[in-house]
Amino acid sequence: MILTKITKAESERLRSRRIHLIKDGLCVSCGKNKIFKNALCRLHYETVRVQKSKHYFKNRERYIAGVLDRRDRLVKAGLCRDCGIEEIYKADRCNEHYKRYLVDKSKYRKRHPRSAGDRWMKLRRVILAEEPICMICRRAASAEVDHILPLSKGGTDCRDNLQGVCKECHNEKTKKDRRQEWQKI
């Protein structure tokens, strides 16, 4: 393909032709078909879209490697891996981006390995529906399911060993159980 220099007059002529085609609602590439998107008919629009996607996949690996390289350089310099401006707080991020990271992480957090997945979630829903008020303090709404006899002491996931409790009571009971375990050791 031989590239030739386009004169200013030719450039203006092509620009005015393009404007007239758009005004008439015709494709700027062929000048025959009606416009579908981006001043192109459906055929030419799909051709351009396919070419762009091929270009994207060809350069994707190079792009990802560049991003990872940039992150590594920022972290080595002691700067946030996301913004590159502020100093690192935790997990290679500044304070603001670390908070966002924790929120995103909690959204996609996996279920507890002890839980039986869907079976546990169904049982949890049943218990919280049956016991809407905390079974320990009898004041707050129950938000969590507690093992009366902890699993570490031989308790099971059967319904008789579970109760609905509020977060505060659950935290206190857990701390108490752990203290007792440490005192035995």
Residue position matching structure tokens 């966002």: 100
pLDDT tens digits, one per residue of 30-45? 788 787 777 777 777 7
Stretch 167-177: mean pLDDT: 91
- The length of the chain, given as a count of residues: 185
Predicted confidence band of residue 58 (pLDDT cuts 50, 70, 90): low
Beta strands in the chain (DSSP E): 144-147, 162-165
Residue position matching structure tokens 């310099």: 77
Stretch 140-159: mean pLDDT: 88
pLDDT of residue 172: 93
Residue position matching structure tokens 């891996």: 81
- Reference 45, options 58, 60, 30; nearest CA is 30
Stretch 137-145: mean pLDDT: 91
Q: What is the H or E stretch that residue 183 is in?
A: helix 167-184
First to last CA, the chain: 82
Residues 6+ apart with CB under 8 A from 133: 139, 140, 141, 142, 164
What CA–CA distance (Å, rounded) separates 87 from 99? 14
Model confidence at 48: pLDDT above 70:
yes
Stretch 123-149: mean pLDDT: 91
pLDDT of residue 1: 44
Residue 33 carries which DSSP code? S
State the average pLDDT for the chain: 78
Percent of the chain with pLDDT over 70: 79
Neighbours of 172 (CB within 10 A): 14
Stretch 62-77: mean pLDDT: 75
Model confidence at 55: pLDDT above 70:
no
57-61, 140-144, 176-180 — most confident range: 140-144
Domain ranges of the chain: 118-184
Residues 6+ apart with CB under 8 A from 86: 79, 80, 94, 95, 96
